[in-house]
């Protein structure tokens, strides 16, 4: 009985400890979007750090691959393939889908990759990721921090609007044992909240 009670308390503590998403350092305005039909989207990972220790992606990948390979031969190599494909398979599509379900459906503005004809580009700069974990009786959500910048497509030094999204939570109902999928949910949450913010800002223009 004591063990069950302890597990219940630990589960509650972990659940309540989840950090909510926050927006900070907003500058510029979104008036330039009012008459746009298409916005180009680029994803950047140049400044990406991971875990609470802020390790580089290279350090994170090497450590996790070695850990998994030592646990089961070949497991780390298989994981590395999933990790390398996660950006284009999970993270970026989930972000774009939520931009479609928010801004596109409300304002008719399409956000898509590889649209050089668009006057403006949204740069999604992933700065920090915490993968989270799921151990059945307890779990912790992923967290994704990004800097979201609108720039002129032909002059990307000209930043028209920028905001920092802090620790967008990534999780699914039930259990999710894939770090990559949980992170994808963090990108989805980022876009959902950012999309709503864009709609709100454009109503004031």
Domain ranges of the chain: 20-203
- At residue 171, the pLDDT reads 78
Higher pLDDT among residues 75 and 3, named by residue: 75
Q: Is 27 helix (H, G, I), strand (E, B) or coil?
A: strand
The dihedral sign for the CA sequence 32, 35, 40, 45: positive
Q: Give the span between the Cα atoms of 203 and 127, in whole angstroms.
A: 29
pLDDT band at 152 (very low <50, low <70, confident <90, very high): very high
4-8, Cβ contacts within 8 angstroms, sequence gap of 24 or more:
7/137, 7/138
Q: At what angle do helices 92-99 and 179-203 cross, to 10 degrees?
A: 30
- At residue 139, the pLDDT reads 82
Could you read off the pLDDT of 22-53 as tens digits, one per residue?
999 999 999 999 999 999 999 999 999 999 99
Q: Which of 20-24, 80-84, 103-107, 153-157 is the least confident region?
A: 20-24
pTM of this structure: 0.87
Could you read off the pLDDT of 97-120 as tens digits, one per residue?
999 999 999 999 999 999 999 999
Query: Are the C-beta atoms of residues 43 and 87 closer than 8 Å to each other?
Result: yes
Query: Are the C-beta atoms of residues 180 and 82 closer than 8 Å to each other?
Result: yes
Mark 160-184 as b/e (b = at least 16 C-beta within 10 Å): bbbbbbbbbbbbeeeebeebbbbbb
Please check the confidence at residue 156 and state whether its pLDDT lies above 70: yes
Per DSSP, 32 falls in state: G
CA angle 139, 143, 149 (to 5 degrees): 165
Could you read off the pLDDT of 125-151 as tens digits, one per residue?
999 999 998 876 788 999 999 999 999
Q: Give the span between the Cα atoms of 166 and 151, in whole angstroms.
A: 21
Q: Give the span between the Cα atoms of 10 and 18, in whole angstroms.
A: 13
Please check the confidence at residue 6 and state whether its pLDDT lies above 70: no
The average pLDDT across 150-171 equals 97
Question: In sequence order, what are the beta bridge partners of 23?
Answer: 165
pLDDT band at 204 (very low <50, low <70, confident <90, very high): confident
Q: Give the span between the Cα atoms of 67 and 44, in whole angstroms.
A: 27
Q: Taking all residues of the chain, what is their mean pLDDT, rounded to a whole number?
A: 89
For the chain, percent of residues with pLDDT exceeding 90: 81
């Amino acid at each position: 009985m004591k063990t069950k009670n302890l597990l219940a308390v630990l589960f509650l503590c972990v659940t309540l400890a989840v950090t909510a998403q926050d927006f900070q350092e907003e500058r510029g305005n979104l008036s330039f979007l009012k008459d746009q039909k298409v916005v180009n989207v680029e994803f950047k990972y140049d400044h990406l750090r991971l875990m609470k220790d802020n390790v580089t992606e290279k350090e994170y990948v090497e450590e996790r691959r070695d850990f998994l390979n030592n646990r089961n031969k070949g497991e780390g190599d298989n994981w590395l393939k999933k990790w390398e494909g996660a950006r284009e398979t999970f993270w970026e599509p989930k972000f774009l889908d939520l931009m479609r379900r928010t801004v596109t459906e409300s304002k008719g503005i399409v956000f898509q990759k590889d649209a050089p004809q668009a006057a403006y580009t949204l740069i999604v700069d992933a700065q920090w990721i915490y993968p989270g974990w799921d151990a059945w009786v307890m779990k912790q959500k992923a967290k994704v921090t990004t800097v979201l910048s609108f720039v002129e497509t032909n002059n990307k030094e000209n930043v028209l609007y920028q905001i920092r999204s802090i620790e967008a939570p990534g999780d699914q109902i039930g259990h999710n044992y894939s770090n990559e999928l949980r992170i994808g949910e963090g990108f989805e949450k980022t876009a959902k909240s950012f999309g709503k913010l864009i709609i709100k800002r454009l109503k004031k223009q």
